[in-house]
Structure 1
Amino acid sequence: MQIVVNDDPLTLTGSPTLSDLLEQLSCHQPGTALAVNQHIIPRDRWSSHTLQEGDELVIFQAIAGG
């Protein structure tokens, strides 16, 4: 399956969840946030949200401050 992560194409096998992908990319850190197809996915849904062909993900670090 082909997806796009932060504007870079990525080929995956099977039907991984968001948690699986973050683990594979070593991006599962405190403060990590992500959007799939321009929709923020809450952290408590990462382990149940299965990626689909053509999904576009943006992974970023949430930053607090003023």
Structure 2
Amino acid sequence: MKVLVNNLPVTLSPPAHLATLLAHLNHSPDGTALAVNQVIIPRSHWAKYQLNEGDDILLFQAIAGG
């Protein structure tokens, strides 16, 4: 299955969830936010949120500022 992560193609074996994607990318979930098809997905749903072919995922780091 192919998805886009920050506009770059990523191939995953289905079924794939957001937590699976982070592990595949070797990306720590600490300070990370994820949106799928322009909808932010709460961290509590990452392990069960199933990705679909062609999903457009934005992965970004939360930054504190003032």
TM-score under structure 1 length normalisation = 0.93
Report SS of the residue matched to 1:16.
coil
Describe how 1:17-32 pairs up with structure 2 within 5 A.
17-32=17-32
Q: Which ranges in structure 2 are unaligned for 5 or more consecutive residues?
A: none
CA RMSD, aligned part only?
0.9
- Report how many residues are paired: 66
Structure 1 equivalent of residue 65 of structure 2: 65
Report SS of the residue matched to 1:60.
strand
Structure 1 equivalent of residue 38 of structure 2: 38
TM-score under structure 2 length normalisation = 0.93
Percent identity between matched residues is 52
Structure 2 equivalent of residue 16 of structure 1: 16
- Runs of 4+ in structure 1 off by over 6 angstroms are none
Q: Which ranges in structure 1 are unaligned for 5 or more consecutive residues?
A: none
